[in-house]
């Protein structure tokens, strides 16, 4: 079992729709959770962080965390073609190293 | 401050050659990480430094790989006797360890070095 799992997609949504990206993780002691966006050929860019159960909103992005279910999600409202990218879920590793464990990423395609 | 800087952006080498990559972290960041990413996969952790000390190294990392951060600032990653399987994007990231509240650390990535081994 992978430590962080994501559906590789592609997830295709029409412009203006809500895109929902999901991630599960295996280590119950993980405390920090992040979403990175990666355009093709570019490096990952941090877009959201969440540390406690519930929802965290930032503009069109909402991160959701459920530690009991070991589940993290990212909602993108009013999806734009420029949101087309791979979204990487990252979870803090064991110990206070700051190390992140990444999922394989979900490719999102927003169609005009 | 322009963020994490990596050099070179691209490297093409022949199998068996040695290569070295450089990473300059964000200036106030005391932690530096190296990751490797292949097509269709997420970044895979290689090693990390806190200041000049290398505190963790992936068990998957071959002994052909070595990293240094001699003065706690920039870091180098060397791959000896490269193999075709080493072809990947090598990413450097940095963060600032903030006292006891390490759960709030955020990693920021450089642009990466794309290695192609022929």
Alpha-carbon distance A65 to nearest alpha carbon in chain B (angstroms) = 15
CB contact under 8 A, A98 and B105: yes
Among B30, B46, B26, B32, which residue's Cα sits nearest to residue B75? B32
In angstroms, what separates the C-alpha of A36 from chain B's closest C-alpha? Answer: 10
Check A8 against B40: CB less than 8 A apart: yes
A53 has a pLDDT exceeding 90: yes
Report the residue of A98, A105, A107 to disrupt the B interface, i.e. the one with the largest count of B CBs within 10 Å.
A98
Beta strands in A17-105 (DSSP E): 19-25, 33-38, 45-50, 54-58, 61-66, 71-76, 85-92, 100-102
A44: nearest CA in chain B?
B109
pLDDT at A29: 85
Query: Which of B89, B104, B107 comes nearest A100 by C-beta?
Result: B107
Q: Is B41 on the interface with A (CB under 8 A)?
A: yes
B74 inside 8 A of chain A by CB: no
Q: B109 — contact with chain A (CB < 8 Å)?
A: yes
pLDDT interval class at B2 (50, 70, 90): confident
Closest residue of chain B to A5, computed from CA coordinates: B42
Q: What confidence score (pLDDT) does residue B104 get? A: 56
- For residue B51, give both structure tokens: 């200041």
- CA–CA gap between residue A60 and residue B25 (Å, rounded): 30
B110 touching A (Cβ < 8 Å): yes
Instruction: Express each pLDDT in B60-114 by its tens digit.
Output: 788 999 999 998 899 999 999 999 999 999 999 998 876 554 455 789 999 999 9
**Torsion of the alpha carbons at B22, B26, B32 and B35, rounded to the nearest 10:** -60
Percent of residues, chain B, with pLDDT higher than 90: 76
pLDDT of residue A38: 97
pLDDT tens for each residue of B12-61: 999 999 999 999 999 888 999 999 999 999 999 999 999 999 999 998 78
Q: How far is B103 from chain A (nearest CA, A)?
A: 6
User: What confidence score (pLDDT) does residue A70 get?
Assistant: 95
Mean pLDDT along residues B4-13: 97
Nearest residue to B3 via CA among A43, A59, A37: A43
């Amino acid at each position: 079992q992978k430590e962080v799992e994501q559906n590789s997609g592609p997830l295709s949504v029409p412009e203006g729709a809500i895109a929902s990206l999901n991630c599960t993780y295996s280590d119950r002691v993980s405390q920090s959770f992040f979403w990175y966006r990666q355009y093709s050929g570019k490096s990952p860019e941090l877009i959201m962080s969440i540390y406690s159960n519930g929802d965290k909103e930032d503009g069109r992005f909402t991160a959701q965390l459920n530690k009991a279910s070991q589940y993290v999600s990212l909602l993108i409202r009013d999806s734009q073609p420029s949101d087309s990218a791979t979204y990487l879920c990252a979870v803090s590793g064991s110990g206070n190293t700051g190390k992140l464990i990444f999922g394989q990423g979900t490719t999102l395609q927003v169609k005009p | 401050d322009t963020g994490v800087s990596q050099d070179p952006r691209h490297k093409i080498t022949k199998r068996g050659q040695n290569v070295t990559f450089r990473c300059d972290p964000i200036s106030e960041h005391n932690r530096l990480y190296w990751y490797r990413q292949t097509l269709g996969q997420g970044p895979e952790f290689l090693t990390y430094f806190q200041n000049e000390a290398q505190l963790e190294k992936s068990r998957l990392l071959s002994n052909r790989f070595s990293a240094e951060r001699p003065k706690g600032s920039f870091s180098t990653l060397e791959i000896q006797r490269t193999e075709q399987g080493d072809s990947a994007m090598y990413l450097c990231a940095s963060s600032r360890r903030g006292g006891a509240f390490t759960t709030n650390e955020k990693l920021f990535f450089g642009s990466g070095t794309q290695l192609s081994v022929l």
